[in-house]
Amino acid sequence: MHDNVNTGSFVIFEWDDDKAAANLRKHHVAFELAELVWDDPAHIIVFDRYENDEERWHAIGLVRGILILTVVHTLPTGDDENVPIRLTHTPTTSSGCLVARA
């Protein structure tokens, strides 16, 4: 697992290094780039589905002012503010917009 604190929004991110490497090979989007979605003050988070007894959410935001990314993730459960957001993956799109599988 990889833990990283995004100091812009005080969010802890966690992911599997093997999944991150596979994502980079397949989609050319690093998880480190995907987590920058949370730096966009206008980013939105919407519920997507339940998978493997977990809620999956989409975070959509502008990265570095030039790239809109959608990141599928799980949200923390419980009352502990330090529980990490786990980056998972996003669906494939044919609409021409770049989608991060994080």
- Over range 1-28, report the average pLDDT: 71
Helices (H), ranges, 1-102: 17-27, 31-34
Find out if CATH 3.40.1160.10 is the number for domain 2-87: no
The 10s digit of each residue's pLDDT in 62-97 is 999 998 998 888 876 655 554 456 666 544 444 444
Model pTM greater than 0.75?
Answer: no
Q: How far is CA 16 from CA 2, 56, 65, 86, 95, in A?
A: 6, 16, 27, 9, 28
Per domain, the residue ranges of the chain are 2-87
**pLDDT the model gives residue 56:** 86
**pLDDT the model gives residue 60:** 92
Question: Which tops the pLDDT comparison, 44 or 101?
Answer: 44
